Structure 1
Amino acid sequence: MDCHIPATVPVNVLSLSLSADSVRLVNGTSLCSGRLELKSNQSNHWWSSVCEADFDQQDAEVVCRELGCGAPSVLQGVPYGQVEVPMWTKVFQCGGHESALMDCRSSGSARTTCSTGKAVGLTCSEPVRLVGGASRCAGTLEVKQGEWRVVDDYLWTLQEAAVACRELDCGSGVSTGSRKQSSYITVWRIRTECVEAGFTLRECSSSGSSSSTVEITCSGEPISDLIYDSNVYSAVLSLSQ
């Protein structure tokens, strides 16, 4: 996915969808989130939303896998706007191991409509990981786009590291470094102007080769969970003296 995105491109371009042959997520905040739609017939372009009551966590795992995203992190009634497309009329019964949603067993449903806000809204985690470090929040950066690859260290700063840490739910970026390879290998290159425009690492990656890859250390905690309590801090300080 080599999309050349200048820094001036507005982030609302993310309303475009990510889709496999018969599954897509639309109107989300990234390519791995949005309202779930299924193609009702492979011979036309009729897409249907899925009613929340007909879909569960195991079904979500299959959809995220089919789209090449990480595991599902949010499954809820759609927060992505009014549903005006037809509703899917079968209940999925996935085991969670299938490679595509249409491989799952399904049963017929008498449902022909779904109340407003109750279509499936799905957020999958971004396909990003850190390997070889002391924890899941430190190590060599890898991004999956069809396949897992390490990331070139060219022009990497703490700004790009912050994006990776956020996608990993690992707080803020602490440091970046380079790991030299014995020879040139196939890597993903991350376009800084694309990241600065608000897009994810996967959306900003293009294929290349390099003899050095980037290593990242994150703070290890989601920033939203870091609460400063002056009373607690003062107590700890007194005990340490």
Structure 2
Amino acid sequence: MFSIYILVSVFIYSTAFELQRSLNSRYLGKEPTGSIQVKLLGGSKTSGNIIIRRGAHSAWGGICDDGWSKNNGDVICRMLGFGKCIAITVNSKFGHLSNNRIWLDNVRCNGSEASLEDCHLSAWGLHNCDQKEVAGVYCGRQNDFALKKSAKTFKEYAIRMKGGRNPTEGRIEVNTGYSWGTICADTWTLMEAMVACRQLGLKYARSHTTAPYFGGNNVSKIISGLHCTGEESNLAECHHENVGKEVSCRDSNLIAGVLCTERLPDLQPNVTLLEETIYLQDRPMFLMQCAMEEGCASSTAFHIQRTYRDWQIYRRRLLRFSSATKNVGTADFHPFLHMDDWEWHSCHMHFHSMEVFAHYDLFDKNGKRVAEGHKASFCLEDVQCDSGIAKRYICQGYSQQGISVGCSDIYTHEIDCQWIDMTEVEPGDYIFRMQVNPERKIAELSYANNAVVCKMRYAGVSATVTDCKLCSL
């Protein structure tokens, strides 16, 4: 009786999944063939929302900004014949798509690829975005906008905050020897904000702003193209594109601002748990349907799903492992998204509050990525806490999510997406890497302990990791 129940349940689930897939296919039409073409829309020759198509006669559509990174931007700019990506944009910065058509989601490149086709791509046309969530880029012309020091060698220049509601927030104004002025915010990120707060003696950056929340529209902009690693002691140590009495910004409406704080979370993965739990599993694809909805499989798995009616019987070889991430900082870790933007996952029966909380990669000895796993969405909660610390965050229902100071969020090896798809990987020696908060969307005390790197021996039927250690993102 129990076996019959399982078979019926699988049949019902598979039928429902196939129906939804059929509806998607009916909406999207037959998947086009041909190479991916790309162009920019809504900006200038070197900037804009990214739109793509396959083949010369197919329709143009956008790329969802979920997990969008500078590595992805480098590939786009290379395809367009420009230099490297100077900055990426999200949330349809250059305008909403009129046709509401999205072709790709969860694009993941290492930055060296010649084309998007060489990156890890989800199934064409399957996504969870709308016209307000299109990815974009600022590209540099070949040999332009190189990350270099300005022709002038700077000593530490004066810096101040203005326009805030309190002494810990405001727009950044600098004086490089000309006069006081603001900073173009085209390339202003959390990394630059970290350096600004450090230089101001206000410890850390909780957030950065680019919209003119703190005024300053009538103040001259005197620095553009500022790029920091986040470790510098002052802004003068960062790379500058242009410095002058008044410089031109790619978007003159953006002004660099910060919100500083004395406390921040600090995430640290558990190295020992990873070493102790890693193993191989052959898993039929009908048991991976929830995971594949989140993009947790290699591109060949999605090809099989699109091509063969009996795709559920195919098997994938997965490298599985548990991961625990502890907050060793001085403030609770909260999701990047507001509760109103959390996504309900019916397969897992809870809300996911972060699109990309962890990322798993496998590299060969030359540093080329040969496989990757991806925790597409996460629910954050206190699973295990130090003695005397009460759990505050849970995933059940529409509850507050996060990781308290002194607590760990644990994803055990049997949970969906706690894997790397190894099906096409040849036996050999590799480097395994796990990163948490890989996009640095949430400010932390330090990113020097956000990754684990291990040596891995893959024998085809077994896998072992050794010499695992914490390292920087």
TM-score by length of 1: 0.42
Relative contact order, higher structure (CA 8 A, sep 6+): 1
Larger Rg: 2
TM-score by length of 2: 0.23
